[in-house]
Amino acid sequence: MRALDEAELLSLWESGQTRHPIDRALLLCAWARPDVAPERFAQLPLGVVNAGLLRMRAALFGAHVEVQLDCEHCGEHLELALDIGELLAGASAQDERADVALQGFRFRVPHSRDLAALAHETDAQAAALRLLERCCVARPDAPATLADVLSEAEEQLEAADPLADLRLSVACEACGQPTQASLDAGDLLWGDVQQHARGLLGQVHSLAQAYGWTEGEVFALSPVRRAAYLDLVRD
Ligand SMILES: [Zn+2]
């Protein structure tokens, strides 16, 4: 992954601001994976996109992740600490995933383009069937329907691309029941980019106001000098 300097981080933030979260994840992924042609991102398996986003998050902002959730059973607020290295352990280094063959059907793993196509579907069951329909690349001659194989196909597609859906089952500290925690790699990384971009804008704002410096002049200062000037401005 290429390093991201402050001016680039700001321009990444600027171009991501107005995008839909799916497009934004692909924009971030394009930074994480300069080896992949931009037009290919929407057709990469979701697990490959997520792995790229998580690696970029670890490289830029560290591997430690905190997930907040409420227990599905008792409502207890839970905080979960995750390590990106552990999430990525065993992740395939390849960008391709094997198709799933089931009762004469053949399915490819889902891509970002599939998620975008389903973004307005509000019924979970209908969305799951439409997704399977999109991913179906071969059908049996027999009159079997997609609904017959839905749950088994979902299970096998998940096994074929485990990072596509970052869900973990955690035991609640209060009631001991298992509850589902989920992590959206695009949202996670975008949240950090946004927070750091706002921090940088705040620094430029303070120093521009005090000394009349431009953004470029502020970014050209060494971190030590910039911190020292910011201290003086605040005093
Ligand atoms: Zn609970």
Residue 167 to residues 129, 173, 180, Cα–Cα distance (Å): 20, 18, 7
State whether the Cα torsion 120-123-124-130 is positive or negative.
negative
Tokens of 75: 């409502």
Distance 171 CA to ligand 1 centre (A): 8
Distance 172 CA to ligand 1 centre (A): 5
pLDDT per position as a tens digit, 191-225:
999 999 999 999 999 999 999 999 999 999 999 99
DSSP assignment, residue 111?
Answer: B
Distance 79 CA to ligand 1 centre (A): 12
pLDDT at residue 1, rounded to an integer:
60
Distance 117 CA to ligand 1 centre (A): 35
Distance 75 CA to ligand 1 centre (A): 6
DSSP assignment, residue 109?
Answer: P
Mean residue pLDDT across the chain: 92
pTM metric for this prediction: 0.88
Q: How many CB atoms are located within 10 Å of the residue 221 CB?
A: 16
The secondary structure element, H or E, covering residue 206 is helix 185-211
Distance 71 CA to ligand 1 centre (A): 5
Strands of the chain (E only): list them.
Answer: 64-70, 77-83, 100-102, 105-107, 136-138, 166-171, 178-183
pLDDT per position as a tens digit, 96-114:
999 999 999 999 999 988 9
Q: What is the mean pLDDT of residues 41-63?
A: 93
Distance 169 CA to ligand 1 centre (A): 12
Distance 162 CA to ligand 1 centre (A): 26
Mutual orientation of helices 223-234 and 185-211 as an angle, nearest 10°? 60
Distance 178 CA to ligand 1 centre (A): 8
C-alpha closest to that of 89 among 60, 57, 54, 62: 54
Distance 70 CA to ligand 1 centre (A): 8
139-145 long-range contacts (CB < 8 A, ≥24 apart) are 139/104, 139/105, 140/103, 140/104, 140/105, 141/104, 142/104, 144/103, 144/104, 144/105
201 touches 10 (CB < 8 A):
yes
Distance 128 CA to ligand 1 centre (A): 28
